[in-house]
A and B are shown apart, each in its own frame.
Chain A
Amino acid sequence: MALDRVNNQLFVPAYGNGGFRAFQLTEEGLPEDRRARFITSRESLIGRRSVPAPSAREATFPGANGLFDASTERFFTLDRFANRILVYDASQDQLRNFPGAEVVIGQPDFSSTQRGLGPNRMGAVGAAAVDEAGQRLFVPDSPNNRVLVFDIRPDVLTNDPRAVDVIGQPDLESRDPGIGPSGLRGPGSVAYDPVFERLFVSDAGNNRVLIFDADPDNPEALESAVAVMGQPDFMSRAPRESLDQLEAESLAYDYENHRLFIAEDLEHRIMVYDAHPDRVGGPATAVAVIGQPDAFSTHPAVSQTRVAMPRATINSEAQKLYVSEGYPAGNRVAVFDISPENLATGMPAVDVLGHETPDGEPDFDNRMAQGHLDGRSLAAARAVVLDPVDHRLFVPDEYNHRVVVWQLDELNRIADYDARWVLGQPDLNTSHMGEPTARNMTVPIGGAYDTSTKRLFVGDGYHNRILVYDAAPGMLESGMAASVVIGQPDFESVAREAGRTGINFDVRMGRGIASNFLPMGFAVDEDGQRLFVSDGANNRILIYDITRSELANGAAAIGVLGQVDYDSTAVRAGALGIDNPGHLAFDAETERLFAIDAGRRIVLVFDVDPARLQDGQPAVAVIGRDGFDAPAPAGGGALAAVLGTPPPIDGSSFVTPNGIAHDPLRQLLYVADGGGTFAVPADRILVFDVDPERLQNGPEAVATLGSPNAETGATPTWGGAEPVPGQFRVRDTRGIDLDYENGRLWATGSFESRVVSFNFPRAAWDYRIASNSTQSFSTLDASDLGGQSDPRTDAALSIDTEGNAAPAATIVYTSTRQTVDAASQRHSRRLIGEAAVAPSPPLSHATVFVDGAPERRHMLHVYNPDDSASELALVLRDIRGLVTAEWQRTVPAGALLGIEIEADLASMLDPAPESAAASTPESGIESSINSPGAAMPPREATVTIDADRPVALTALRITTNGRGEDMLAPAPFAYGSEPAQRTVLPWFVSGGDQQSSVVLINPTDTVMTGQLAFHDATGARMPLGTDSDVIDYRVPPFGSRVVASHDAGPRANRGYVVVTADAGGTPHSSALVERSNGGVTVSESIVTGTTGGVANFAVDLRATLIRHGEIDTQLVIVNPSEDVAAFEISSATGTVATGELAPAEQAVLSVRALSGASANGVFSVSGDDTLVVAARQQTTNIRAEQVDVELPPLGVAQFAPYVPNGAGVATEIRLANTASEPTAGTLLFLEPDGAPASRTILR
């Protein structure tokens, strides 16, 4: 924070943009408005980011602190990661214009990040202070055991200034730690007293605060302190023995009343000391404690009287103390009145920035970052725990102090992006940090689940305990109390201890933030009812008997690994020790325990067979190194901003191993390794063969996930582009868990606060659908903008019902383009076009409408399920039904064939268009063309397909719009049924940027004649943008006819069309509906409708990874009869709506309006047999354009001859089981040649 006394505003770090938010204060120092006035550095919506390239405009360290020099109106950004201080002109609110810094201190230029010694380099930038009158900047340089003094007079300060003085060292090239009045050891913070011209230096390594006479006219005075606080004399440096004694941490000074405030980060309080020159010196006793009820309480909590991980800024004139609390804590600035008459231990805050009640009052209890929390967000995902039996996923959400629980589907896939339950908090929208109880937790980082007893074990970091929840379905409730606590005698205790009953996760020291400094890990031996627990700071793994009847609060461990007894905590050497143990995996098949040893960057393998297990026994194997005594690979620590020798990036060693999971069936071990966030040069999940017959020390990984291979390093984060771990890459993966039965790995993305699933490729995908339910599968169309993406592949789908009831299905093809939102840097998919088709039954004859518009192509996708080849005879006819081309194609047995009509015609013309009967070997097309030169179909035409063996067929029309985007729609397509005497097209619309065409196809060899009658929604006959309300038609055999609207008015007139035959029955009829925006066609859809007593549709209004936007499905119902007709709309939850339609009336009902924005499942429309129904899915995409698609009524699924994936196209397979019993089977995907498509990945 920084206090601007000129404009009376408080600058609070804005994490995502490397700058600050400016909050206006009143004269009393209180927030005038709890919304920021402006933001500095840049206007972005980025919520979190890693270290960007250094520049003049913003800090590289997202939580940088600041200083304001009121005398010259300059702002100083202390940019810790870049070891520099940026100096900005802050006059006239200049900071709101995103200026670049004018000067950089500590670096030669704005792009450098050097660490060093000397007059103009620092080992680190500490909490500095400004002497405004003397124009000096005091900068603690902790690694060099000194405080540098810079002359910051505007007329002399230029880039890369040299310090003019140094405190704690004899010269600017020395860095030895020292004691006495002139020595310093790791000073981290300073504060300046402008009244008595004193400098307070927090000499942390010597456990004292030194006070220097900082008279600017007497620079020699800085050579030796005049007083010491916290020690009896200048030569003493013992740590405090009691919590009511001084500890040297972060300083702030009140020059009005001469008080020194010390913010104790780990004790979660601010100690207030009298620092008047007449009364200071020697051991110090605080005059007040802020943030805790007394001088001995240290528990972190976020409330009006408690603080957590505080930093302090003082407004002396207004006598206000501003306490900022970081990410794990309050995400707020609490304001305390520190006037002498009000100052008291445990006093309440008077206001707060960051959290407000709905009534606009300060909210002292809430603490979520960004003012937002729900069931689809995480603050830091460090672990993931799968319940494969009852299909739930538990994710400890470290900084929100909760465990978020998602319900999965029958196949353990994501059923809903919104979580259903939460533990540790009362609900999914609340984040409190309070006193320990059985219902809350602080910094949960790990967990494990016992499917046999349906108990969840959660590692509650700050409370050094394991909470045991009875989490059986029906018992699990949000905010429920844990049943048992391990590691503490009761739910109120939080001691950090060793021993047989103690645990020391020690997350207060930051364990768990970096990948190589781990606090905990868990694994359950279900058969043996043992719980293995990594006790991080005690460098041991404890074993507990968790037999339900035996387990009680404060349970004693029954075994220990890594230590010979329960009181030792030092790391032992070789196979006997374990250094910072983390996540664990247990193999019940071989009674082996796999343990992350984060300190040595290895995985240890222990034989934990109860018959052989002994306390302190050695590991039997090591992964990540050739032997237990082999040296650790080179490389800096995970938090090192500048690495030493880069570690090897290969498949046999780890950089920072973290998550671990085991496959007992295939004997594979998965180990998450890396953490590119912190300049660690790898991010991957390595897979090892750990079959006991083959496992030797230092094995080579057999596969790598989240990275192209084991040898590929992570995208550099330091000074480079922001790495974007999209779909092909992972970053900072911590906990993982494996669903080995369904072939799925769950992996945390810790920095991005996400959890991804890797579904292993296969040709056969199981489906298991509950009664009256749907189950959707989708190809991935995987793509990382600017990176890797799925190439385009086509497959066919054959459904093996395995003797069970066949499901119904709808196949939806979706075309999208990825986009980046510049403000938030989030990726989205812009929906371009969709087409939905019913699965195809085997057909021998079909007629498809085509037209020769230059922007259009027509694709036939044919799958031959027979074991003999099928010969296709294709005939192109013009509007009169005259043959213009004929050709043949062969579909081999079991294979699929894609036919682009236009391409076939072109290939027939080239290279020998004059040939009346050509055979082109390249295409394999046997052809004859009756109208040479016709490379395109006629403007309105049909293609008939006759197959000598039945084939499955899908016909699509692809229209390239004025933006060059390909929109998809089913091609009007007739097969099978006998012509009716009357057909109703339930939807026709014209005007308001929509136009429709009635497409009539005569699939017979008899002329069809009749009338089209256009009706509005009330049933009244009227033209709907057409020439007349009744239009006669005549369609020759195998010919077609199109009747288009041409109303361009601003209002959409909707209604329906009745087709009545005079002769030959009604043609196959459909409506083509086009939407346009600014003259560009943005959607093309087809509406056919269905007639009958019941129509079922697979509806899903939820956005998917492919379909982004606001989705609705409109149910269109027409009563073409002369009587009132009743209808009912129902879903799995029961009746959704009922109603009556007057004779000839059309109704349009929104599923979103009826059932909400997340409606999904089978929606049935039932009523009189005469009703005509259509379901139109409408998605308003992120471009605010509407894309329409008709959902065909659900029919029995057997084949889908076209399953494209990649290059912007994905296929969704919506299965439905409308029966009262569950059903199951297999989706078998086939390559074009009929071989199993074993590389298929679905979600």
Chain B
Amino acid sequence: MSTSNRQARFTALAGLIALAFASSAALAQRQAEVCDCAPVSGQPAADVLASHDRWGNPTFIGGITNGGPDSGSVW
């Protein structure tokens, strides 16, 4: 939630800001280092951190397991 001070680039693009949102055609013109993209309702997530299956593979539905019925750990 911090905002970069890379304002020079913002300023250069400032004139496009309103147009960029108002017009998808304008969005189609790629700006250097800024993607030509926008969120789409219902789109899937692309990647995940801190979530893995029992064998350590990354997965969207994962997480730490409880150590089994004879575990020494408690929560």
- Determine which of A36, A448, A726 lies in contact with B2 in the assembled complex, contact meaning CB atoms within 8 Å: A448
Complex CA gap A372/B68 in Å reads 13
Q: With A754-B50, A761-B43 in contact, is A452–B67 under 8 Å at CB?
A: no
User: Is A417 an interface residue, CB under 8 A from the partner?
Assistant: yes
Chain A residue numbers with a CB within 8 Å of B33 are 741, 766
Q: Is the CB of A46 within 8 A of B57?
A: no
Nearest residue, chain A, Cβ from B36: A762
Nearest residue, chain A, Cβ from B42: A708
Distance in Å: Cβ of A389 to nearest Cβ of chain B: 7
Complex CA gap A689/B22 in Å reads 10
Chain A residue numbers with a CB within 8 Å of B59 are 826-829, 1105, 1108
- Determine which of A521, A526, A743 lies in contact with B3 in the assembled complex, contact meaning CB atoms within 8 Å: A526
Distance in Å: Cβ of B23 to nearest Cβ of chain A: 12
User: Is B61 an interface residue, CB under 8 A from the partner?
Assistant: yes
Chain B residue numbers with a CB within 8 Å of A704 are 41-42
User: Is B38 an interface residue, CB under 8 A from the partner?
Assistant: yes
What size tier do the contact residues of chain A reach?
Answer: 35 or more
- Determine which of A333, A693, A755, A761 lies in contact with B40 in the assembled complex, contact meaning CB atoms within 8 Å: A761
Nearest residue, chain A, Cβ from B59: A827
Chain A residue numbers with a CB within 8 Å of B25 are none
User: Is A691 an interface residue, CB under 8 A from the partner?
Assistant: yes
User: Is A1122 an interface residue, CB under 8 A from the partner?
Assistant: no
- Determine which of B10, B18, B61 lies in contact with A693 in the assembled complex, contact meaning CB atoms within 8 Å: B18
- Determine which of A395, A583, A705, A1182 lies in contact with B49 in the assembled complex, contact meaning CB atoms within 8 Å: A395
Interface string of A770-792 (1 = CB under 8 A from B): 00000000001010100010100
Q: Is the CB of B41 within 8 A of A709?
A: yes
- Determine which of A417, A1239, A1242 lies in contact with B58 in the assembled complex, contact meaning CB atoms within 8 Å: A417
Chain A residue numbers with a CB within 8 Å of B65 are 16, 45-47, 370, 823-824, 826
Interface residues of A in 669-709 (CB under 8 A from B): 670, 687, 689, 691, 693, 703-709
Complex CA gap A742/B75 in Å reads 39
Chain A residue numbers with a CB within 8 Å of B46 are 744, 756-759, 780, 1241-1243
Q: Is the CB of A17 within 8 A of B66?
A: yes
Q: Is the CB of A666 within 8 A of B49?
A: no
Complex CA gap A332/B73 in Å reads 7
Distance in Å: Cβ of B52 to nearest Cβ of chain A: 6
What size tier do the contact residues of chain B reach?
Answer: 35 or more
Q: Is the CB of B75 within 8 A of A762?
A: no
- The CB with the most chain A CB atoms within 10 A, among B2, B6, B61, is that of B2
Complex CA gap A629/B58 in Å reads 46
Chain B residue numbers with a CB within 8 Å of A12 are 74
Distance in Å: Cβ of B21 to nearest Cβ of chain A: 5
Chain A residue numbers with a CB within 8 Å of B20 are 665-666
Q: With A727-B60, A756-B45 in contact, is A660–B1 under 8 Å at CB?
A: yes
Q: With A38-B70, A703-B39, A1108-B57 in contact, is A753–B63 under 8 Å at CB?
A: yes
Nearest residue, chain B, Cβ from A447: B1
Distance in Å: Cβ of A822 to nearest Cβ of chain B: 11
Complex CA gap A725/B64 in Å reads 16
Chain A residue numbers with a CB within 8 Å of B2 are 385, 448-451, 523-524, 526, 586
- Determine which of B35, B43, B53, B62 lies in contact with A741 in the assembled complex, contact meaning CB atoms within 8 Å: B35
Distance in Å: Cβ of B33 to nearest Cβ of chain A: 6
Q: Is the CB of B70 within 8 A of A758?
A: no
Complex CA gap A53/B36 in Å reads 45
User: Is A406 an interface residue, CB under 8 A from the partner?
Assistant: yes
Interface residues of A in 1-43 (CB under 8 A from B): 12-17, 21, 34-39, 43
Nearest residue, chain A, Cβ from B13: A665
Complex CA gap A752/B48 in Å reads 11
Q: Is the CB of B50 within 8 A of A331?
A: no
Q: Is the CB of B63 within 8 A of A1241?
A: no
Distance in Å: Cβ of A793 to nearest Cβ of chain B: 13
Complex CA gap A752/B68 in Å reads 19
Q: Is the CB of B60 within 8 A of A665?
A: no
Q: Is the CB of A755 within 8 A of B50?
A: yes
Chain A residue numbers with a CB within 8 Å of B63 are 47-48, 377, 752-754, 826
Complex CA gap A417/B47 in Å reads 10
Chain A residue numbers with a CB within 8 Å of B35 are 741-743, 760, 762, 764, 766
Q: Is the CB of A21 within 8 A of B74?
A: yes
User: Is A745 an interface residue, CB under 8 A from the partner?
Assistant: yes
Q: With A756-B47, A756-B48, A1182-B55 in contact, is A664–B1 under 8 Å at CB?
A: no
Q: Is the CB of A828 within 8 A of B21?
A: no
- Determine which of A583, A691, A784 lies in contact with B17 in the assembled complex, contact meaning CB atoms within 8 Å: A691
User: Is A1104 an interface residue, CB under 8 A from the partner?
Assistant: yes
Q: With A756-B45, A760-B35 in contact, is A667–B72 under 8 Å at CB?
A: no
Q: Is the CB of A754 within 8 A of B49?
A: yes
User: Is A1127 an interface residue, CB under 8 A from the partner?
Assistant: no
- Determine which of A39, A705, A735, A745 lies in contact with B69 in the assembled complex, contact meaning CB atoms within 8 Å: A39
User: Is A737 an interface residue, CB under 8 A from the partner?
Assistant: yes
Chain A residue numbers with a CB within 8 Å of B21 are 666-668, 689, 691
- Determine which of A327, A370, A662, A758 lies in contact with B39 in the assembled complex, contact meaning CB atoms within 8 Å: A758
Nearest residue, chain A, Cβ from B44: A782
9 nearest CB pairs, A to B: A371-B73, A782-B44, A743-B37, A39-B69, A1108-B57, A760-B37, A743-B35, A762-B37, A526-B5
Residues of B within 8 A of A (CB): 1-7, 10, 13-14, 17-18, 20-21, 30, 33-75
Residues of A within 8 A of B (CB): 12-17, 21, 34-39, 43-48, 324, 326-327, 331-333, 353-356, 369-372, 376-378, 381, 385, 388-389, 393, 395, 404, 406, 413-414, 417, 448-452, 521-527, 583-589, 660-662, 664-668, 670, 687, 689, 691, 693, 703-710, 724-728, 730, 735, 737, 740-745, 747, 749, 752-762, 764, 766, 780, 782, 784, 788, 790, 821, 823-829, 1103-1105, 1108-1109, 1182, 1239, 1241-1243
What are 16 inter-chain pairs, A to B, with CB distance below 8 A? A16-B65, A16-B66, A355-B73, A378-B49, A381-B50, A584-B1, A705-B41, A724-B61, A741-B34, A754-B48, A760-B40, A821-B54, A827-B62, A828-B53, A1108-B59, A1242-B46
